[in-house]
Amino acid sequence: MSNIKLRNVANKTIKTKDSVINVKNKSENAYNSNEVNENAYAVNRLSSFNKSLPFKTLEFTKLGNRIVKEAKSNVIKTKDKIKSLLTEKKIKNTNKKFRTVYNKLQKDKKIAEENIKAIKNARKLAKEATKRTYYSLKATFKISIKILKTIINSLKLLVLALFAFGYVAIIIIIIMCLLASLCSSIYGVFFNGEDVENSGFTISSVVKDINNEVIFKIKEIQSTNVYDEFEIVSNRTEWKDILKLYIAKVYVLDMDVITLNEDKASIIKTIFWDVHNIESEVKNEIVTDVTEDNIEVTSNKSILYIYINSKSLEEMINQYNFNVEQCKIIEELSNEDLDELWLNSIHGVKIGTNSMVQVALQEIGNVGGEKYWSWYGFDSRVEWCAIFVSWVANEVGYIENNTILKFSVVGVGANWFKALGQWKDKDYVPNVGDIIFFDWELDGRLNHVGIVERIEDNKVYTIEGNSNDVCKNNSYNLDSDVIAGYGIVNY
């Protein structure tokens, strides 16, 4: 607001409250004095001129009245000016108070910004602190938001109030208490992403051990039978259903689900084999193959069928005679919002590059694929997309440790992933290093395979062998009809 300039009143410059009061008193005295003097003057003048100039009596009377009226008018103007000045001074005082409030608000704003910065720093420290219990803090906060959404909403006003008063430490304590409560609940299983308390056991490591048992049984069946080809027919129960049964069993016994030890791992294995059994048979069948010249050739072959059978979740609930509380636990863990977290916990999926992708990238540009199909054991060229994936997996030791099957037929590789519960349909959003399978004719017969390099802008970028007889990069929309599904590699 600009400064208010004061004009001179009655030839006096008004600067202070005292000056205003003095002017007021002088104005009132002037009014009284003028009224008396002017009246006396008028009377004297009228008396002196009355005799000599009787005809001017009326004129002087009017003069006296006018002088009195002007004097009164000056006093009124002076009083109004005084009131105006006092009002202006009040405005100044008000402006001063406004500025005081404004400055306080600016100070509070600065404090709030410092609090926000402190919270961000505290959150960063909290992320680092929780990294040991879960390999991906991003997933940790995601589960916190999803599961505790109702709780957080109910505490929203409290947190805002605490924030307003700068109680950053209290807010951090509340958040950490919520996370601690979460870890001790049935959702603690999602925080078992790494070796907790040096127990040597994690969800993903136990899953891998059990899958190795499945692979051993399959190989044992293969070694005791004579056959030309084999096919795995899998009706596997998903791993998340196995773990739901496990949590329902141990949680009601007051056992935490965030840590694993040998006894708990044994419980998971027992549940798995209660759910599954493996059978096999050999059938002699007439098989039709298509040559490179697109000629159909029929032959008699012995086909070894390996069946992986399973019971449903409902059947197991009845078999274990679960009570109402245990059924409620399974229901809560069946929320679709938890699917990504199950994936992280079970398969140890991590976003980022891996050694398979790094090796595959070095092979881009290879033509003909002889390097790969000769390694596999073929004397002449064959369709080599699956062989390329096997070759890359072998280069990083994944075939030797049973992480990936050595396969030359696309369908065999897909069935292997299905047998281990590591298959996802096309609506799944893949991660780097997943194996992508294709069905070009959309007839249910898989006929191509590659390695997922990255995912960007709703597209999946791949590294493929035998793409027009060349090892090259390709890309597809995530919802492309030709994508049949993905094999999840338990790296």
Mean pLDDT calculated for residue range 212-240: 90
Q: What six digits make up the tokens of 403?
A: 């992480």
Rounded to whole angstroms, the Cα distance separating 200 from 185 reads 22
Give whole-number Cα distances, 122 to 77, 129, 171, 183, 466, in Å. 67, 10, 10, 20, 51
Predicted local distance difference test score (pLDDT) of residue 137: 42
The residue among 355, 382, 350 whose CA lies nearest residue 463 is: 355
Q: Which range among 82-91, 309-318, 429-438 shows the weakest confidence by mean pLDDT?
A: 82-91
DSSP tally for the chain: helices H, then strands E: 16, 9
Residue 418 backbone phi and psi in degrees, to 5: -65, -40
- Enclosing H/E stretch for 476: strand 472-477
Position 233 pLDDT exceeds 60: yes
Position 480 pLDDT exceeds 60: yes
Predicted local distance difference test score (pLDDT) of residue 86: 54
Helix/strand/coil for 102: helix
> In this structure, are strands 276-290 and 296-310 parallel, antiparallel, or unpaired?
antiparallel
- Enclosing H/E stretch for 437: strand 435-438
How large is the greatest C-alpha to C-alpha distance in the chain, in angstroms?
Answer: 163
Rounded to whole angstroms, the Cα distance separating 471 from 385 reads 9
Predicted local distance difference test score (pLDDT) of residue 191: 74
Q: Which residues contact 487 (CB under 8 A, 6 or more apart)?
A: 413, 414, 416, 417, 422, 423, 434, 435, 437
Helix/strand/coil for 486: strand
The residue among 344, 369, 347, 395 whose CA lies nearest residue 468 is: 369
- Position 257 confidence tier, pLDDT thresholds 50, 70, 90: confident
Rounded to whole angstroms, the Cα distance separating 463 from 202 reads 31
Rounded to whole angstroms, the Cα distance separating 351 from 58 reads 112
Rounded to whole angstroms, the Cα distance separating 302 from 227 reads 5
Position 388 pLDDT exceeds 50: yes
- Position 350 confidence tier, pLDDT thresholds 50, 70, 90: low
Output 135 or 288, whichever has higher pLDDT: 288
- Position 170 confidence tier, pLDDT thresholds 50, 70, 90: low
Specify whether the CB–CB gap between 387 and 372 falls below 8 A: yes
The distance of Cα 185 from the centroid of its chain, to the nearest Å, equals: 21
Q: In the block, which residue shows the tokens 């079970």?
A: 346
Model pTM?
0.58
412-422: pLDDT as tens digits: 999 999 998 89
The residue among 207, 416, 380 whose CA lies nearest residue 308 is: 416
* Cα-based angle 349, 369, 490 (whole degrees, multiple of 5): 15
Position 199 pLDDT exceeds 70: no
Residue ranges of domains in the chain: 1-129
**What average pLDDT does the structure give for the chain?**
74
Which segments of 193-276 does DSSP mark as H helices, in order? 203-223, 239-251, 262-275
Q: What is the DSSP letter of 400?
A: T
DSSP per position, 319-366:
HTT--HHHHHHHHHHT-GGGHHHHHHHHH---SS--HHHHHHHTTTT-
Rounded to whole angstroms, the Cα distance separating 372 from 388 reads 6
The distance of Cα 353 from the centroid of its chain, to the nearest Å, equals: 21
Is the backbone of residue 485 left (phi > 0), alpha (psi -120 to 50) or beta?
left
Highest mean pLDDT of the ranges 10-24, 126-140, 203-217, 443-457: 443-457
Name residue 110's amino acid. Answer: K
C-beta neighbour count of 410 within 10 angstroms: 21
Q: What is the DSSP letter of 367?
A: B
Q: What is the DSSP letter of 11?
A: T
12-37: pLDDT as tens digits: 444 444 544 454 455 445 444 444 45
Q: Residues of the chain with pLDDT > 90: what percent?
A: 35
The residue among 126, 128, 138, 129 whose CA lies nearest residue 168 is: 126
Mean pLDDT calculated for residue range 39-56: 47
What's the distance, Cα to Cα, between the start and end of the chain in Å? 70
Q: What is the 3-state secondary structure (H, E, C) of 12-73?
A: ECCCCHHHHHHHHHHHHHHHHHHHHHHHHHHHHHHHHHHHHCHHHHHHHHHHHHHHHHHHHH
For the purposes of burial, counting CB atoms within 10 Å of the CB of 58, is it exposed (0-12), middle (13-18) or buried (19 or more)? Answer: exposed
Give whole-number Cα distances, 200 to 138, 194, 262, 264, 349, in Å. 24, 9, 9, 12, 19
- What sign does the dihedral 368-370-375-376 (CA atoms) show? positive
Q: What six digits make up the tokens of 230?
A: 């084999």
- Position 355 confidence tier, pLDDT thresholds 50, 70, 90: confident
Helix/strand/coil for 315: helix
Residue 229 backbone phi and psi in degrees, to 5: -140, 160
